[in-house]
Chains A and B, each alone.
Chain A
Amino acid sequence: MIFREVEDRDLIAKARRGNVDAYNVLVSRWEKRVFNYLLRLVGHREDALDLSQDVFLKAYQNLKKLEDPARFPGWLFRIAHNEAYSLLRRNRPESELAVEPKTGGESSGRMFPMELTLAVRGALSRLSDDQREAVLLKVYQGFKFEEMAEILSCPVSTVKSRLYTALDLLKQTLAPVKMGGAE
């Protein structure tokens, strides 16, 4: 991880000097994480891809404003967060329609992998955007509370509140599923 950070720092330095190839290497390292974060946040594959491209383009254009290259991940996800919420605000009605139907959170029985995937997607989709994003940043991306607060531009207490509420909701839906319906 340390080597990875060092290498990312080198790539960022080269990209800042206009080395597009170095930036493409950096993109290739982060595109999957950013794409999946955006996909789970906005719920549409094409939107997530378009947003990912916008995120990396904006990141390249503003790379010189990144004071500490070690903070690149948080900085990148902050751009992704802003881009995603711009889209969510524009497409609010469609976004609400796009929410996947409930997939039987209280259902019982062993889940097959596809069912499990659908159950998780369903559980995530029933969270509010803020709650879902808190889960995505913490559980899937591994950011600390302070980093999340910077990405989301909110106090740590708000981050905790959103995340704890989301975990309670997810627990109600997902824990019994895995446990064979015994909550």
Chain B
Amino acid sequence: MNCSSEDLKAYFLGELSSLDKAPVEDHVRACQSCREELERLKLTQTTLLALEDEEVPRRISFVSDKVFEPRWYETIWHSGPAMGFASAVILAAAILTYGFTRSVVAVTPAVDTAQIEQRIEREVNARLEAVVAKAVSDAQSRQAAEFAKVLDATEKRFETRRQADLATVQQAAEYYEKQMSRWEIALNDARAGQ
């Protein structure tokens, strides 16, 4: 390796890779001129670093200013836990809202309110008519059953009475028949006695 001021400076400044360092170090060990050059660079750096840092005359600090503060949503957006909490709150609110307004939501999709009202009215009327019709039908059925029951009972009562009347008539007939027989016998006896 020949004397290279650039390589020497790069080596001195710590900018060479370990691979590139070795040949420079070998050269410096062998080259008096480069050794002296390296010493001068080190001396220069040491002298430069003798210049001490000055203290800052006035401390730099900032106060909270609304102009520079982020918006509340930016603060939340850049905060992981806060963002998670906010998400949970929003999700809970959405679930609650859905829970409370679910029936409303089911009806609300209709665009025209008047149309919805008409539909509801029609639906209610239809259901009402159906209910009334069923009630009437049930009442009629109940009445028919009761009527049939009463009729049946009346028929039975009438039959019983008829049977009783028949029996009475039969008894009366038998009585009159016996009486007639008696009268006939008596008449015959009377005739025979005459």
- Give complex CA distance A24, B61 in Å: 5
With a cutoff of 8 Å between Cβ atoms, the chain B residues found around residue A24 in the complex are 61-62
- Give complex CA distance A57, B67 in Å: 12
- Give complex CA distance A138, B64 in Å: 35
Q: B62 to A60, Cβ gap below 8 A?
A: yes
A121 at the interface (CB under 8 A from B): yes
With a cutoff of 8 Å between Cβ atoms, the chain B residues found around residue A36 in the complex are 53-54
B69 at the interface (CB under 8 A from A): yes
Q: B47 to A160, Cβ gap below 8 A?
A: no
Interface-facing stretch out of A14-22, A77-85, A90-98? A14-22
Nearest Cβ distance between residue B53 and chain A, in whole angstroms?
5
A108 at the interface (CB under 8 A from B): no
Interface-facing stretch out of B71-79, B112-120, B146-154, B180-188? B71-79
Map CB proximity to B onto A137-157 as digits: 1 under 8 Å, 0 otherwise.
011100011000000000000
Map CB proximity to A onto B38-56 as digits: 1 under 8 Å, 0 otherwise.
0011011111111111111
Q: A17 to B75, Cβ gap below 8 A?
A: yes
Could you say which of A45, A52, A175 contacts B47, with CB atoms under 8 Å apart?
Answer: A175
Write the chain A residue with the least CB distance to B40. Answer: A175
A129 at the interface (CB under 8 A from B): no
A71 at the interface (CB under 8 A from B): no
B13 at the interface (CB under 8 A from A): yes
Q: B50 to A116, Cβ gap below 8 A?
A: yes
- Give complex CA distance A125, B62 in Å: 32
A110 at the interface (CB under 8 A from B): no
Task: Given A31-B56, A120-B48, A174-B47, decide whether A167 and B62 contact each other with a Cβ distance below 8 A.
Answer: no
Q: B56 to A174, Cβ gap below 8 A?
A: no
With a cutoff of 8 Å between Cβ atoms, the chain B residues found around residue A175 in the complex are 40, 43-44, 47
Nearest Cβ distance between residue B82 and chain A, in whole angstroms?
9
Write the chain A residue with the least CB distance to B6. Answer: A164
With a cutoff of 8 Å between Cβ atoms, the chain B residues found around residue A139 in the complex are 45, 48-49
Q: A57 to B48, Cβ gap below 8 A?
A: no
- Give complex CA distance A120, B52 in Å: 10
A27 at the interface (CB under 8 A from B): yes
- Give complex CA distance A36, B55 in Å: 8
B58 at the interface (CB under 8 A from A): yes
With a cutoff of 8 Å between Cβ atoms, the chain B residues found around residue A138 in the complex are 13
Q: A57 to B47, Cβ gap below 8 A?
A: no
Nearest Cβ distance between residue A24 and chain B, in whole angstroms?
5
Nearest Cβ distance between residue A39 and chain B, in whole angstroms?
6
Write the chain A residue with the least CB distance to B67. Answer: A61
Write the chain A residue with the least CB distance to B78. Answer: A17
With a cutoff of 8 Å between Cβ atoms, the chain A residues found around residue B84 in the complex are none
Task: Given A18-B75, A20-B63, decide whether A52 and B56 contact each other with a Cβ distance below 8 A.
Answer: yes
Closest 3 CB pairs of A and B: A174-B47, A120-B51, A18-B70
